[in-house]
Structure 1
C-alpha cells in the first residue's frame, strides 16, 4: 500500500477538540481501549492530512504534533481506523498477530502480501478481513523470540481455514502498511522495541498453533521464498473492528486455552474487580453508565494480566508467582481471547443480564434516545465483592510498562520520540590575557581549547611539580608568582587600597577549587554543540541555559516566555511557536527580546502558564533538562 510515497498530500491541519474527541471515541470503541489509552493514542495536538496512495485510493492520516503518523483511514468518508506501526509499538497488544520468519520480513517491506506457507503462529477463530499485525519469529540462543509488530494488514481468509490449509499456497494476510515503508518514513524512524521471548508451550497445545510451527528457525527461513507474492492491485475494503474481538495480550498465539464458560468466569471476576476497586468509589452522578462504556472502560482493563493465576484452566498446573513487569516470561501464552465473543454468552447484553440475576448490577432497558443498556448502580456489598481477592490487571501491567518507558527516556536509555539522541553540549576555555603566561609556564599549548577536567589536571600537575601544597593545611595551595599574577592581575600579586586606608596583604594561599575557578574566570569562554543529524559547531562565548519564565501581564493574565534557545540549534522560534500553539491550544507570538540589542535573540510567548509543556517540548527536541531553567516571575498588579 505504501511501497511508493503517498501523493496529493494536502496541508496538515490540527483537529478541532470535538473532532479529536470523536476520533478518540472511535479508537476506544473499535479497539477496546481504556479512556487513558485512548488519550495516549489520540493525543492533544493531533493533526489530519489527506493523501492518495499509488493505487489512487484516498486516505486520511492522523499525525501527532511531531508529524509522526498514528492512524490512517482508507477510502472516501471511511471512519475505520488502522493503527500505524508507531501506534502498534506503543501498544503491542492492540491487534492479534501472526508470526513469520525473519527472512520474510524484507519481502513484506518491499510490498508483498504474507502467504500461507510463511505463517508460523496465528490466533484461533478470527474472521476474514480482520485487522491483524505481523511479528517476526526468530530464535536467539535457542530461545524463540517475537519482534514488535512490523506490518499490519487484513486476513485473506478465516484463521480456522488458515490453520487447516497447512502447506497449501495462497494469501494469508493482505498487507496494508509495514515498517520502513513510505508511511513509516514520515515519522521519527526510530528502532523497533526489543524482541520479546516467547514462552514455551505448556501441555498439548497443538490445537492452538498452526501445524507448520517449526522446530528450528532455520527450517522456517528455508521456506520463506514461498511465503510471499507480488503486491496486489486492489486493497481490501475496510471493515469494522468490534472491541469485543481485541486480545488480552500480544501473545495470543499458541498456548493455554480456556473454554467459553471459563472465559465467562474470568470476565465475571474482572467485573467484580472493577466494582471493588473503581466503581465502588465513583460518585453517584457518574451513573448511569452505558453498557459499552462499562465493558471497554471497566471490564476489559480489569481483566487479569495473568489469568492462569486467577483461574487455571483444566489440566493446568499453576505457574510461578506473578509479576507486574510486562516483559515477564514466567507465565504461559494465552491462546484464547478473553472477550465477550469467546465467552459462553457471545453478547454483552446476555452477559450483563446474567450478572443482574446475580444481584451485582441494576440495569435499565435501552431507551429511544439511548439505544444502549444502562447500568444504574452496582452492588458493592455483594458477597462476591466482599470476598474478592484482588489480582494484577491488564491495566496495571500496561501502566507499569508506561512508567518504565518514561524512566528510560528520562535517563537517556532510549531515544526520544523524534528519533534522535540528546543535543551534546560541551563548555570549553581558551588561555587569554593573564592566563596565557601561566599556560606557557605549565608547558601547555596556548591556542588550544580545554575542558574543565583538562584545566584542573594541568593545574594539579603544576601544583605537584612545584610542591605548592601547604604543609600545614593540605587543603590549601601556596600561590607562587605565576599563580598569584594570574589570579590577581590588577596589582601583579598585590591588592590595591583606598587613600588613607591600610593595604590589604596579597593572597598567599587558596583552596584548589578556588584556584580552578579563578583561572577559568580569566580564560576565554567557548562551547561546542553537536545536534542530532548536524555538524559539530564550535563558538566563542559562554552558553547559558534556556529560560522559561511565567509572567503576569495586563492585569492578571499569565503568559510564558521562552528565550535563549538559539545556540542549541534544534529549535526555531517560528516552528516552536506554531508547535506550542497546537500543544497548548493557546495563542503564541515571536518577538525580539525586549531591552536587548537587535540580533540578540528572539522571545517566544505562549498564552497562559505553560512552563511544563514548554519544558517537555524542548526536552523532546533533545535538549538536556539541566540546560532548561524554569522560573515563575510575578508581574506588577
Structure 2
C-alpha cells in the first residue's frame, strides 16, 4: 500500500488522555490480555524497557497496564494526516499515522489508520516491540524477498506451517496478521489482512488458488523508511523472543519444495499479486530449484570502529584535503577562501576524504563531538589558526601548508562511490537514498512576474479594462501611445517633458497628490519617466499583483495572480540559549520548496542539526527550518540557488548584532 511515498501533514503531539484512549482501544481490538501485577504477561515483559523510561503511573492504575500502554503507544507519540495512492488504478487513500519512539530508538511510524476505518494497523516497528500482538504466518524467504517486498499479496499456496501444528485461531477473514520468512521465523517482516479464514485451511495447500492475505505494509516500503528529518529504515533483528517460530525440521523440509508461479490469477489481485505454490517435488533433480530461497546472501556487518580510529580518520582526511589542494591548485592559499566555516570543513574537506565511507565515521562518533572542538584540536596541532567569532562560532583563519605533517603526507586510496541503481519509471527512490535526491524543487526554474490591475480612472483612456492584468512594460507602452496620439502635449521644453492635459492633471496627478505632483501641477509639465513611475507606484491607480511561475514562464494562462508585491524568503540569524547562533528560514512554500526536504540537505551540508516546525505566529501549514550556526552563504549560494531562487528574493536579517 505504501509503495509510493505518502504526503504527510504536520505532526501534532497526542494528549495524554487521547493516547490512553487509543491504547485502550488497541488492547480491546486486538484482544490483548492486560497483565496483572502477580502474573506478568509476555506483552508486559516486552514493555519493561518502555515502562522504565516513562513516568510513574497514577496510583489508580496498575503499573502493568501503564507499561503495556507505553509499549503500544509511547509517551512521545504524535499524529498526522496523510494521503497516498495505491493499486493499479492509483486509488487515493487518506488516513492517519502515529509516530513515536521506543526507549533507545529514533522516531518511527508505529501505527496507521486508513480511510474511515477506526482500526489501528501496526507497523513492523510496533510488532518488533510487542510479541504475539497479531497472528504470525510464515512463507519461504524467496516469497518475502521477490514478491511481498514488492507490494504483492500473499497467495494461499505460499503459506507454510510446521508439520503437525495448527493455524493460529485468530487468523480469520479480516484479521490483521504478520508474515515472517523461514530463516528469521520469529521476526515479522510484512503486515496485511486475511482475505480468507486462514485458520480453517487444511494441511495440504497444493493446487489451491487465491489470495490468502492482502498486503498493507512491509519492511522496505515508504512507511518503514520514513524518518522526521531523513529517510531510511531500521534493519530487522535476527530473532525476537515471544513470537512463535517454526519447528526445526522446516529447514530440511523446504529443500524438497519447488517454486511454481501461479499463471492463473484471480481477477482483482491488487499490486500485481502473483501467487507462490510450494509443492513436493522429489523427482526434480535440478539443484537450483531445490535450494532456491534457502541459500540467502549473508549481510556483512561493518565492524564499528573505536573512537580513536574515528579521530585518526578525521585528522588524516584533513591532511588529505590539504595535500590534494596543493596538487590541484597554486598560490599562497591553494584555492581556499578564508575564513573557512565549520560546515565547509566537514562537508567539503573531511567527508570526501575519509578512508572509510560508512555511518560509523561522522563527527558525532569522534571524541570532539562537534566541528568547533575539532578545529581547536587542529589548532593545537599547529596545522591552522582559528578564531572564535561573536555568537560562539569558530572559523579557520589560516592553514600551515608547510607543516611537516602536510609535506610528508602520503595519500591513500579513497573508496569508490557506489553507482546509483537505475529505477523503473514511476518507481520511488529506495528508502536508503537521501530525501533531497528526489526533491522536485532541485533544478527548477522560477520566474516572478509583477502585474497590475488599473483603476477605473485610467479606463478606457489609457488602458481598455480594469479587470485584466497588465505588466509594467504594457503600462509604459500605453503611456507612450497616449502621448503619441496627443502631439500637442510635446513641445516647449524638449521631448523629455510633456504638458499636462485635463486627463493627466485630474485622473493621474489629482489622485492623492504628492509634493512632486503639486510642483508639476504648478508648472503644468512633467517628465515622461516620472509620469510612468507615478502611475505604476500609485496603488490607487495600479493595484499590484504577482505571479510565481515554475518551469515554462509562458504557460501562465491557467495560473491566477496573487494580490500584493512578490513575497521573499526570510533568513533570520538569531541567538538561542545564550551564545548559540541559529539560522531560521521561512516562507519557502510560495517558491515550491518543501521545508521537510530542505532540512535533511541542510543538516548534511552544514554539518549541524536542522529541524522543521510550525511557523511561529503563521497560519497552519506554514513551516520554518532552523539550522545551527550562521549558514546564510550555504543557504543562499547553494541550497536556494539549486532551487532557482535569485538572491534578490531573499531577505536577510541579522539579529545577533547589537542595535546601533
Q: TM-score range by the shorter chain?
A: 0.3 to 0.5
